[in-house]
Structure 1
Amino acid sequence: MELKTVELLKNRRSFYVLDKNIKVSEEEIKEAIREIVKYSPSPFNVQSEKVVVLFGEDHDYLWGTIVMETLRKIVGGEEKFKETEAKINGFKNGYGTILIFEDKDILEEAKKGLGSYAPNLDTWSEHANGIVTIGLWIGLRELGLGANLQHYNPIIDEEVKDKWDIPKNWILKSQMVFGNILEHPEEKSKIDINSRVVFK
């Protein structure tokens, strides 16, 4: 018997060739994201993970203006920039983006009551961020959508916060692009699982 969990993990891939012709409603996407974030565990239940979801013109502005123009200043020469431009346009072609954040103020406040555990909270919060991220990735796939995870932070952080009035204490961790799947990625090789999982 194959677990549903395994099936979902197998179906979660990095889908890069996406478009906006999704077969699910925005309301269904919103509800799924709310539920996934709500029920994802966090250390000491601090719930410091935050997400901002961009649709439509906001999604397009993130990739077509903020990311594109930031990278244009960094990548020298128009000829050299063509490859970068094509890559960023690929993200823009998707339907939406989930901006995934960590609220540093919540973490700092929580540390005050944790005694000797306090120094570990930053590491544990990264674990929680990963849990939210994989939950969103699997959830989107279960809705029939493809997604890929990007990390253009910190070079876009200030513009993103200014554009969408995001609190300064929210630290941008990643950007998850999602949309309708046009092309499936090739299978990736896996090393012998017995070299990674050991039973005693």
Structure 2
Amino acid sequence: MDSKFLDLMGNRRSIYALGENVSATNEELISLIENAVRQAPTSFNAQSTRAVILFGEAKDYFWNTIVTDRLKQEVPDEEAFKGTQARMDGFAAAKGTVLFFIDEAVIKFQQENFPIFADAFPGFAETEQGMAQFAVWTALAEQNIGGNLQHYNPIIDAAVTEHFDIPAEWTLRAELNFGSIEAPAGEKDFMADDQRFKVFGN
């Protein structure tokens, strides 16, 4: 069975060699990202995902100052930090970065109004996050724009909240870098199907 969607999924890879050579305008990229988040499924139609899109100086400040300065506190030796600095430089070289958040106020509202599912709502929100991140990443890949997903939360949360004036109720969950593909992804390995899937009935 042929599937264009599965082909798109296969094109969505972790690309680390990213650049700013993207033909789409910032406005077009913003529209694409916002629509992908908007169309992603959400349990109870909660719509708890929030996204902050960074370009230019804002993107550079995020990687070169907020993340880099925080990581230097964990790796104080300059020689040992060279590898980390190279990664930060690579992330900063991308066209932009999407910061994905969960709005905890939405979860609290759900818990108060649907108490029978109260314990499940945080997990539902995480599932929504994954689908929104995947939707954005795949939509970018369709436009031949590469991406890689990072997780420097929670150690950078306070600095991000302060610098970008993020509502206190928003919790950072991931950082998606995107840009022109300057070098392809490597080969991808898959685990054996018999360890991953079970099928019953016919």
Smaller-chain TM-score range?
over 0.9
Q: Which stretch has the larger CA shift, 188-197 or 66-75?
A: 188-197
CA distance in 2, matches of 1:6, 1:195: 21
- Paired residues for 1:1-200 under 5 Å: 1-200=1-200
CA distance in 2, matches of 1:11, 1:29: 18
State the one-letter code of the partner of 2:177.
Answer: V
CA distance in 2, matches of 1:102, 1:40: 14
3-state SS of 2:171 partner: strand
Deviation at 1:54, TM superposition (A): 0.3
Deviation at 1:138, TM superposition (A): 0.2
3-state SS of 1:184 partner: coil
CA distance in 2, matches of 1:189, 1:120: 32
Deviation at 1:72, TM superposition (A): 1.3
Q: How many residues align?
A: 200
Cα deviation 1:4-43 (Å, max 9, x = unaligned): 1110110010000011111222122111111111111111
Deviation at 1:76, TM superposition (A): 2.2
State the one-letter code of the partner of 1:150.
Answer: Q
Structure 1 stretches of 5 or more lacking a match?
none
State the one-letter code of the partner of 1:56.
Answer: G
Cα deviation 1:62-110 (Å, max 9, x = unaligned): 0011111111121021111111101111100101000000000111011
Q: Which stretch has the larger CA shift, 129-138 or 19-28?
A: 19-28
Structure 2 stretches of 5 or more lacking a match?
none
State the one-letter code of the partner of 1:63.
Answer: W
Moved over 3 A (4+): none
Provide the alpha-carbon RMSD of the alignment.
Answer: 1.1
CA distance in 2, matches of 1:154, 1:197: 33
CA distance in 2, matches of 1:195, 1:75: 38
CA distance in 1, matches of 2:64, 2:167: 23
CA distance in 1, matches of 2:146, 2:166: 26
Deviation at 1:186, TM superposition (A): 1.2
**If the length of structure 1 is used for normalisation, what is the TM-score?**
0.96
3-state SS of 1:88 partner: helix
Deviation at 1:191, TM superposition (A): 2.3
